[in-house]
């Protein structure tokens, strides 16, 4: 059961990271839009330690605007960056963040 | 002949000219939360981190690089690890090795380390094999 649909605005949580993860620091705290569903998979935080009780989550391709990610971005306004994020890292974007 | 006291005063004068020494970074008594945040940044998360420009080199994989790739896949096939464990092992190498080694040298280093960690080979056997190969190379065969 997926929490987010294509087109949903989502924010990457500002959570503490330690030792190993795949959620780029530059995406955390930023809001983008879901553009693709990716298959469910073991999340990297559990797969990296081969946990027998490893959590399986749906993944999403999230599209960010480059100018939202990088302070002082000098490229075009329409430039985007897409990356894959596990569901547990995402929350619905708050009003006004869209 | 310079007397010890003259040497002392000379050294003090030189120390006075030298820039303030940087704080030692090995095992300080305390660090700030901000510094701790920077220290625990996971090494492979390089996007957006400050760095100098790197020249782009368009090269084919060398034979040893392809063999390293296949070896790591075979280790996964035989249940020694998975790709995510390999990536974590690369992070676990620490900043000096992570950023100092070439890409596939990181792979082959952590593959060897995984075999040692699992008790499949001993670190002494690995070191002895490296010495064997080095001796063979030196003998020119």
CB–CB contact A19 B85 (8 Å): no
Question: Helix B63-77 and helix B83-92: axis angle, to 10°?
Answer: 120
For the segment A74-87, the average pLDDT, to the nearest whole number, is 96
Distance from CA of B58 to the nearest CA of A (A): 24
Report CB contact under 8 Å: B40, A49.
no
What pLDDT digit, counting tens, does each position of B11-47 carry? 777 777 766 666 666 777 889 999 999 999 999 999 9
- How far does the CA of residue B127 sit from the closest CA of chain A (Å)? 27
Each residue's pLDDT tens digit, A64-79? 999 999 999 999 999 9
Catalytic residue check, B103:
yes
Quote the distance between the C-alpha of residue A85 and its chain's center. 4
Name the residue among B42, B82, B91 with its Cβ closest to that of A47: B82
SS (H, E, C) chain B: CCCHHHHHHHHHHHHHHCCCCCCCCCCCCCCCHHHHHHHCCCCCCCCCCCCCCCCCCCCCCCHHHHHHHHHHHHHHHCCCCCHHHHHHHHHHCCHHHHHHCCHHHHHHHHHHHHHHHCCCCCHHHHHHHHHHHHHHHHCCC
Nearest to B47 among A18, A19, A24 (CB): A24
How does the average pLDDT of chain B come out, rounded? 90
In order of start, what are the domains of chain A with their CATH numbers? 9-92 (2.30.30.50)
- pLDDT tens per residue across span B59-81: 999 999 999 999 999 999 999 99
* B71-92: average pLDDT: 96
In the prediction, which pLDDT does B50 show? 84
Q: Does A72 touch chain B (CB under 8 A)?
A: no
Q: Which domains does chain B have, with CATH numbers?
A: 63-138 (1.10.472.20)
List CB contacts (< 8 A) between A82 and chain B: none
Dig out the tokens for A10 from the structure. Answer: 């989502």
Q: What is the ipTM of this complex?
A: 0.87
- The larger pLDDT score, comparing residue B14 to residue B101, is at B101
Name every chain A residue with its beta carbon within 8 A of the beta carbon of B85. 47-50
Confidence of residue B114 (pLDDT cuts 50, 70, 90): very high
Tell if the CB–CB gap between A48 and B42 is shorter than 8 Å.
Answer: no
Taking the Cβ of residue A20 and every Cβ of chain B, the question of whether any pair is shorter than 8 Å is answered with: yes
Q: How many CB pairs under 8 A join A and B?
A: 45
């Amino acid at each position: 059961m997926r929490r987010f649909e294509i087109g949903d605005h989502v924010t990457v949580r500002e959570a503490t990271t330690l030792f190993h993860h795949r959620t780029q620091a530059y995406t955390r705290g930023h809001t983008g839009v879901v553009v693709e569903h990716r298959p469910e998979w073991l999340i990297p935080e559990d797969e990296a330690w081969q946990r027998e009780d490893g959590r399986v989550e749906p993944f999403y391709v999230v599209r960010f605007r480059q100018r939202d990610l990088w302070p002082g971005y000098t490229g075009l306004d329409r430039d985007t960056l897409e990356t894959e994020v596990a569901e547990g890292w995402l929350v619905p974007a708050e009003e006004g963040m869209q | 002949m310079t007397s010890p006291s003259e040497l002392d005063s000379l050294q003090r004068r030189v120390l006075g000219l030298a820039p303030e020494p940087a704080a030692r970074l090995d095992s300080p008594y305390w660090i700030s939360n901000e510094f701790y945040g920077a220290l625990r940044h996971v090494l492979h998360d390089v996007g957006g981190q400050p760095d100098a420009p790197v020249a782009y080199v368009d090269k084919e994989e060398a034979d040893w690089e392809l063999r390293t790739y296949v070896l790591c896949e075979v280790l996964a096939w035989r249940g020694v690890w998975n790709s995510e464990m390999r990536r974590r092992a690369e992070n676990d190498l620490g900043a000096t090795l992570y950023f100092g080694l070439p890409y596939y040298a990181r792979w082959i280093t952590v593959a060897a380390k995984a075999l040692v960690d699992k008790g499949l080979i001993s670190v002494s056997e690995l070191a002895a094999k490296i010495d064997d190969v080095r001796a063979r190379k030196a003998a020119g065969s």
